[in-house]
Amino acid sequence: MTQKLIIDTDCGVDDAIALLMALADPAVEIVGITCVSGNVTLDHVVQNVPIVLDAVGAGPIPIFRGAERPILAPLYHASDVHGEDGLGDAGFPRSTRPISDEHAALAIVRLAREYPGATLVALGPLTNVALAMAIEPNLPQLLGQSVIMGGAVRALGNTSAVAEFNIYADAEAAAMVFERGLNPTMAGWELTVETPMFWPRWDAMTAQAGTVGADFVVPMLEDLVRRSRERERPGILLPDPLAMAVVLDPDCASSFTAAVAVDTGWGPGRGLTAVDVRGNSKAAHNARVVTAIDTDRLAALLERAFRMSSPR
């Protein structure tokens, strides 16, 4: 039986790669893609998801428009990383795929009821997921599992000194999700930094790619790759693909469970994911923290995605 996936995304460049990884996997069926403001504006996200689906000629996967802004925080984007349009400003043609009238939060609830045991993969700020849990408190019980890209588990953030983007951008939503029992598996920022796809391997996999890799991934990442090389990164960082790898190949990951609390204060700790490694708080464990991912297995998932052919 295929694993059903509900993917929530703020579709920037690494979300796009994560989507391609899922689209390339015959063992999963994407039953819905829900869009949230994050890397770029919601309008861009809603344009980007269909562009990714067009790149591989995917079937009619339902796409839902979700939260336009965080629960309480001001809007926060990351177009410096993803380009103004969120797909590297590579000039991909706009898609004519339809966007559903149903709100993303309602769609998450409906799809979880329709496909009990489905996997929720959240690749952006957790606004839609928090709203869905407010509507349906039993969402965690309906889902089989949830995997998020989010958190800085040793407080080495990419957005503030201590916070990772997806949590920082909607800390209230993240706090709701952790406190109300979603029990997510977290692929966080430190894991991302520790799991670069080193340049020789990245260069080889893009050189040997099919048309999806050559005509979609390479132009989309041109700017990011150039900037990453200029900054002397050892390879490309792939936050959302790591979360997707945990879903598609669970044995590729090592992890432990812990109590995690999110700082929603407005001081320097905002968006911190405090992981109680030593059990000092005596709080119940409410998350699984991924500590390592096998790079060979990640590379295999990427290679399969990049080898796909674009429709003519």
The catalytic residues are 10
Which range binds ligand BDR by CB under 6 A, 48-56, 159-167, 224-232, 278-286?
159-167
* Residue 60: CB minimum distance to ligand BDR, A: 25
Tell which positions 234-263 bind ligand BDR, by CB under 6 A.
239-240
Q: Which of 37, 39, 48, 255 touches ligand BDR by CB under 6 A?
A: 39
Residue 278 CA, distance from chain mean position? 28
Q: Which of 15, 54, 170, 190 touches Ca ion by CB under 5 A?
A: 15
Which range binds Ca ion by CB under 5 A, 10-18, 208-216, 258-266, 277-285?
10-18
Q: Which of 123, 212, 238, 245 touches Ca ion by CB under 5 A?
A: 123
Q: Which does 189 bind (CB under 5 to 8 A by kind): ligand BDR, Ca ion, none?
A: ligand BDR
* Residue 79: CB minimum distance to Ca ion, A: 13
Contact 98, 106 (CB under 8 A): no
* Residue 188: CB minimum distance to ligand BDR, A: 9
Question: DSSP of the chain, one letter per residue?
Answer: -PEEEEEEE---HHHHHHHHHHHT-TTEEEEEEEE-SSSS-HHHHHHHHHHHHHHHT-----EEE--SS-SSSPP---HHHH-TTSSTT--PPPP----EEEEHHHHHHHHHHHSTTPEEEE-S-SHHHHHHHHH-TTHHHHSSEEEEE---TTS--SSSSS--HHHHHTHHHHHHHHHTT---EEE-HHHHHHS-EEHHHHHHHHHT--HIIIIIIHHHHHHHHHHHHHTT-SEE--HHHHHHHHHH-GGGEEEEEE-EEE--SSSTTTT-EEE-TT-TT-PPP-EEEEEEE-HHHHHHHHHHHHT-----
Q: Which does 184 bind (CB under 5 to 8 A by kind): Ca ion, ligand BDR, none?
A: none
* Residue 309: CB minimum distance to ligand BDR, A: 25
* 256 bridge partner residues: 289
> Is residue 164 part of the contact set for ligand BDR (CB under 6 A)?
yes
Which residue carries 């920022």 as its tokens?
189
Q: Which does 249 bind (CB under 5 to 8 A by kind): ligand BDR, Ca ion, none?
A: none
> Is residue 83 part of the contact set for ligand BDR (CB under 6 A)?
no
- Helices 13-23, 295-306: axis angle to 10 degrees equals 80
> Is residue 165 part of the contact set for ligand BDR (CB under 6 A)?
yes
Which range binds Ca ion by CB under 5 A, 119-127, 194-202, 205-213, 301-309?
119-127
Closer CB to ligand BDR, residue 12 or residue 88? 12
Point out the residue whose Cβ comes nearest to ligand BDR. Answer: 165
How many residues sit in the footprint of Ca ion (CB under 5 A)? 5
> Is residue 88 part of the contact set for Ca ion (CB under 5 A)?
no
Residues in contact with ligand BDR by CB under 6 A are 12, 14-15, 39, 78, 81, 123-124, 149, 158, 164-166, 189, 239-240
